[in-house]
Amino acid sequence: MAKHGKKYMNALKDAPKGAVSVEEAVKFVKNHAGAKFDETVDVYMKLGVDTTKTDSPVRGIVKLPNGSGKKVRVLVFAGGDMAEAARAAGADYVGMDDMVEKVMGGWTEFDVAIATVEAMKSVRKCARVLGPRGLMPNPKTGTVTDDPATAVKESKGGKVEFRMDKTGNVAVVAGKRSFDADKLVGNINAIVEAIAAARPATVKGVFIKSMTVSTTMGAPVRVALAAETK
C-alpha cells in the first residue's frame, strides 16, 4: 500500500465523511493542497458496466467550458494542405510516413493524436503502440477528421477524452487547483453530463455508481450524484 505524506493524511481527516455537492467538493480540494505545485483536479467515476461485455464501451469527449489548464501536445498525421493547416492551428508535430515510423519505434511524447481519413491507412500500423496508451485516432472522439486544424484547436482549447478502463473506472481532468471555484464546478458538471450521455443502451440499473474529486496528490472527496445522472 502506498504511503501518503502529512498533507494528505491531514486533509483526509478533514474531508467530509459523506457525499457532498460539487461546489463543496471543489471548495475542499482548493483549500487542501496536496503539493506545492499547481495540482491537476481530477474526477473519478465507478461505472455500473459489465466489463466482460465488449458491446458496452464507454468512451467519448467532453469540451471543458473553462479549459483544462494543461499544455496539450498534439500530433497530426496528415500531408499536403491539411498538414499546413494543422501546423498553422498550433499542432506540435505534423507528418505522415516519418511520424508513423517514429511512433512505430515507440515514440509517444504527445497527448493527442489526430489523423486525416487518408492518413489512417498508414496510421493503423501504429495500433500496437497507440492502442494500449489510448492514443489511437478514432472517429468517435473527433480525432479522425479531414479538418485537422479545428481538431487541433479543440484539443488545445479544452477538449478532453474519457475512456473506461478494464475495471469500469473513468478518470477525467477537470482543470487546475488554481482555477476559480466556479470554473472548476462548470468543468466538472460538463464532465458528468458527457459521461451520463455516453451510457450504453445495454446498461441496466445505476450507471454512475460513485464519483470522487481530488487533486493530483490530495485527498479524495465523494460527490453526491443527482438522480438523472445515475
Structure confidence at residue 89 (pLDDT):
97
pLDDT of residue 1: 41
Determine the pLDDT at residue 226.
Answer: 77
% residues pLDDT > 70 (the chain): 92
User: What pLDDT sits at residue 21?
Assistant: 94
Question: What is the structure's pLDDT at 144?
Answer: 96
Looking at the DSSP bridge assignments, the partners of residue 172 are: 43
What count of residues does the chain have?
230
Q: Where do the domains of the chain lie?
A: 16-67+160-229, 74-156
Q: Residue 43: what residue type? A: V
pLDDT in tens, 144-155: 999 999 999 999
Average pLDDT over residues 201-215: 91
Task: Give me 105's grid cell.
Answer: 519505434
Residue type, 135: L
Of 26, 61, 7, give the one whose Cα is nearest residue 212. 26
Range with the poorest average pLDDT among 1-10, 115-124, 211-220 = 1-10
Query: Given a cut of 80, is residue 109 above it in pLDDT?
Result: yes
Sign of CA dihedral 22, 27, 32, 38: positive
116-130 confidence digits (pLDDT tens): 999 999 999 999 999
CATH homologous superfamily for the domain 74-156: Ribosomal protein L1/L10, domain II (3.40.50.790)
pLDDT-wise least confident of 14-23, 88-97, 111-120, 201-210: 14-23
* Residue 11: pLDDT band with limits 50, 70, 90: low
How far apart, in Å, do the first and last CA atoms of the chain sit? 31
Percent over 90 (pLDDT), the chain: 68
* pLDDT one-digit tens code per residue, 159-204: 888 989 889 999 999 999 999 999 999 999 999 999 999 998 888 8
Which CATH superfamily hosts domain 16-67+160-229?
Ribosomal protein L1/L10, rRNA-binding domain (3.30.190.20)
Q: How many CB atoms sit inside 10 A of residue 8's CB?
A: 18
Asked whether the whole model's pTM tops 0.85, one would answer no
Q: Which of 10-24, 130-144, 161-175 bottoms out in mean pLDDT, i.e. has the lowest?
A: 10-24
DSSP 195-230: HHHT--TT--S-SEEEEEEEETTSPPEEBPPPGGG-
Query: Across all residues in the chain, what is the average pLDDT?
Result: 90
DSSP string, 106-161: T----SEEEE-TTTHHHHGGGHHHHGGGT-S--GGGT-B-S-HHHHHHHHHHTEEE
